[in-house]
Amino acid sequence: MNNIGINIANIFIMKKNFFRKVGFGIGPNEQVPVNPIEWAQSQVDKVPPLVWGESVRTGEEMLNYYAEWVYTDREILRKRHKSNRKAYVEAKNKLRIKVGERYFDNLEICIRHNTAINSGAPVFERLWLFWCNHFAIIDKDFMPEFTTGPYHRETIRTNICGSFETLLKKATLGWSMIHNLDNSESIGPHSEWGKNRRMKGKLATVNENHARELLELHTVSPAAKYTQEDVVQLSYIMAGWEHRHTKKRKECNPVRFNKKKHEPGNHKVLGKNYKQRGLSPKNKLLDLLKDLAAHPETRRFISFKLCRHFITDRPTEEMITPIIAAWEKSNGHLPTIHKALLKVVYYYADKEEKFQNPEIWMLQMVHMVGGSWPLRVDEMKYNFKIKPSRHQRKPHFFMKEIGYDPYRPIQPNGFSDMELDWISPELLIRRMSAPKEIAKRNIILKDFGSMIDKNFDNPEEMKNLINKVKSSSTKMQLLFPSYRMLKS
């Protein structure tokens, strides 16, 4: 590990898979970077703008669409058509069109993929996708349709060039996570509301979901050996962080701290006592998040996860050590951590192979052939008056079809990073079928030989695979499900 220095002689022969390990490969109009580590590290200091030909709706605007959808459905349509189900279904379908319920996640996939491929900073984009999955929002209510895309763009993307602590706070206290993990439902048993409820004979308890996932998945992991009591105490600290629930907007209100639901007093989590400082008890959670962000098990767990995502299913102590060290030294400065990671990934580029998930693999394919994916701005024009066309619904259809619906992980641990979860007969059939779909639209690549030279250390093997094959479509069907392309 001490000799990670750059061996210029090796660059053109070895480790070309590095550009797929941390990016989307080398595209038709790109040259192989002369200094891969420098190329990669230079991409992680600042957040590149989204790449979409027109202005992108903010999360706030999207929450308004969500609010209109749930309010109109629950408060108006359900009542207006309570005895006529057909009329209800019809009215609801009209509402879908009006609020873009079938449109927006297709648009989000387009923004996500267009940005990922074309921002000029593929390494940043790969890290973005990693962090989106680390702070995963599961398929719940209408979040995939309206808010998970904006959450990825605003909460995650804009915060991965600062400190982990900031990212953690933004993700934890953002509307998406608060709603996704039910923190608004928590009522401290001894809070003002808790007491009132109990006087009325109602229950007043905390929902532990958010607290548990905050420990298990977002920060320290079970390796920190926290107890159920820690989870309960943390839930007390978190009680009161909520989105208001109103008649007009339902759950679609900004997150606030509601002292009346907050459990008063001191709470011990992982051996440390959290106390109120000053007038508001808000600081208890902020103090705790700061400690969780700086916890040695958080460093270890996330360094491990980074290696598992970018290097191998089974990271070694040697791999994670330099990343943990960078984390510690920089107090969790993400660009520093990412740079340390990139160095380690480069070192192991010719030693370890990583099976890429369907989305990353698909984006690599598109980038390497200069494919016309996703749909363009003009194809995604929508007037909120007629149903989005079949063509406009293709992005979501296609992602579902290849087995990776980016806004719909089913559990808070997100999509798997393990090869075993991505290899099954059907998923493999999809890998063999998808290239033809991409080939149906225009591709820039003419010279497959040069694409192979730029992207693979063993070009002859890859070239043999398409020997005598004429059509680009068939070439793609052969190359992209092949071993060296699936793994990088």
Partner 1 sequence: MITRRAFLTGSISVTMLGSPIFSAFAEKRKKRNLVVISLRGGMDGLSAVPPIDRALEKFRPDVIVKNTLPLTSDFSLHPSLKNFHSAWKQGNAAIVHAASIPYTERSHFEGQDLMESGGHKPFAEYTGWLGRGMETAGLDGLAIALPMPLILRSKANLDNYYPTKLSTPSPEIMKRVSATYPQNSNLKSTIERVMMRPYSTLSGRGSRKAHRLAGTAAKALAMPDGPRVAVFDINGFDTHAAQGGSNGEHGDKLYNLDKIFGKLRENLGTSFNDTLIVTLTEFGRKIEQNGGNGTEHGYGTAVLLMGGLVKEAKVFSDWPGLKRKNMFEGQDLQATIDARSIYCSSMAMAFDTDFEKLKRQVFWNDPLVNLQDKLFGI
Out of 1, 6, 377, 428, the residue judged to bind partner 1 by CB under 8 A: 428
If binding is defined by CB under 8 A, does position 463 make contact with partner 1?
no
Contact at 8 Å (CB) between 114 and 374?
yes
Comparing CB distances to partner 1, the nearer of 73 and 263 is: 73
Could you say whether residue 413 binds partner 1 (CB under 8 A)? yes
- Judged by CB under 8 A, the residue of 32, 48, 51, 92 near partner 1 is 92
How far is the C-alpha of 305 from the C-alpha of 159, rounded, in Å? 18
**Which of 121, 149, 103 has the alpha carbon at shortest distance from 379?**
103
Residues 430-459 that bind partner 1 (CB under 8 A): 430, 432-434, 436-437
Phi-psi region at 129: left, alpha or beta (left = phi > 0; alpha = psi -120 to 50) = alpha
CA 115/CA 460 separation, integer angstroms:
32
Nearer to partner 1, 212 or 243 (CB): 212
Cα separation, 27 vs 454, whole angstroms: 9
Residue from 8, 9, 199, 203 in contact with partner 1 (CB under 8 A): 203
- Residue spans of alpha helices (H) in 158-191: 164-173, 175-180
Contact 267, 194 (CB under 8 A): no
291 binds partner 1 (CB under 8 A): no
Residue 290 CB, shortest distance to partner 1, in Å, is 25
3-state secondary structure of 349: coil
Beta pairing, strands 255-257 & 272-274:
unpaired
The residue among 74 and 260 lying less far from partner 1, judged by its C-beta, is 74
Nearest C-alpha neighbor of 119 from the set 280, 454, 127, 3: 127
Shortest distance, CB of residue 139 to partner 1, whole angstroms?
5
The CA distance from 234 to 108, in Å, is 34
* Shortest separation between residue 464's beta carbon and partner 1, angstroms: 10
Nearer to partner 1, 287 or 457 (CB): 457
Does residue 403 touch partner 1 according to CB under 8 A? Answer: yes
**Which residue among 45, 141, 192, 457 contacts partner 1 (CB under 8 A)?**
141
**How far is Cα 409 from Cα 412, in angstroms, rounded to an integer?**
7
Q: Which stretch binds partner 1 (CB under 8 A): 111-119, 159-167, 251-259, 422-430?
A: 422-430
Based on the shown chain and the rule CB under 8 A, indicate whether residue 140 belongs to the binding site for partner 1: yes
- If the CB atoms of residues 58 and 458 are measured against partner 1, the closer one turns out to be 458
Q: How far apart are CA 55 and CA 43, in angstroms?
A: 23
Contact 130, 124 (CB under 8 A): no
Query: How near is the Cβ of 352 to partner 1 at its closest, in Å?
Result: 15
Binding residues among 40-79 for partner 1 as defined by CB under 8 A: 74, 77-79
Choose, by CB under 8 A, the member of 8, 9, 85, 378 that binds partner 1. 85
Residue of 68, 108, 213, 230 interacting with partner 1 (CB under 8 A): 213
By CB under 8 A, tell whether 118 contacts partner 1. Answer: no
Q: Please say whether the beta carbons of 210 and 182 come within 8 A.
A: yes
Binding segment toward partner 1, per CB under 8 A, in 21-29, 61-69, 169-177, 405-413:
405-413
Is 372 exposed, middle or buried, given 0-12, 13-18 or 19+ CB atoms closer than 10 A? middle
- Tokens 């360094």 correspond to 303
Interface with partner 1, residue 418, by CB under 8 A: no
Q: How far is the CB of 274 from partner 1 (least distance, A)?
A: 23
Our finding on whether 218 is near partner 1 (CB under 8 A) is no
Binder to partner 1 among 192, 313, 419, 453 (CB under 8 A)?
Answer: 419
277 binds partner 1 (CB under 8 A): no
Rule CB under 8 A: is residue 182 a binding residue for partner 1? yes
- How far from 232 is each of 103, 195, 239, 264, 291, CA to CA, in Å? 40, 18, 10, 14, 17
Asked whether 369 and 442 are in contact (CB, 8 A), the reply is no
Q: Which stretch binds partner 1 (CB under 8 A): 50-58, 140-148, 290-298, 363-371?
A: 140-148
Q: Cβ contacts of residue 85 below 8 Å, gap of 6+?
A: none
The set of residues, in sequence order, having a beta carbon less than 8 Å from that of 18 and lying 6+ positions away, is 36, 40, 345, 346, 349
Q: Please state, in angstroms and rounded to a whole number, the distance separating the CA atoms of residues 299 and 229.
A: 23
Whose Cβ is closer to partner 1: residue 100's or residue 281's? 100
Query: How many chain residues bind partner 1 (CB under 8 A)?
Result: 61
Question: Of 160 and 485, which CB lies nearer to partner 1 in the complex structure?
Answer: 485
Q: Which of 11, 32, 48, 81 binds partner 1 (CB under 8 A)?
A: 81
Alpha carbon distance 182, 259 (integer Å): 17
From 60-68, 149-157, 281-289, 414-422, give the range in contact with partner 1 by CB under 8 A: 414-422
Rule CB under 8 A: which residues touch partner 1? 74, 77-79, 81-85, 88, 92, 138-142, 144-145, 182, 203, 207-209, 212-213, 397, 400-401, 403, 405, 408, 410-413, 419-421, 423-430, 432-434, 436-437, 461, 465, 474, 477-478, 481-484, 486
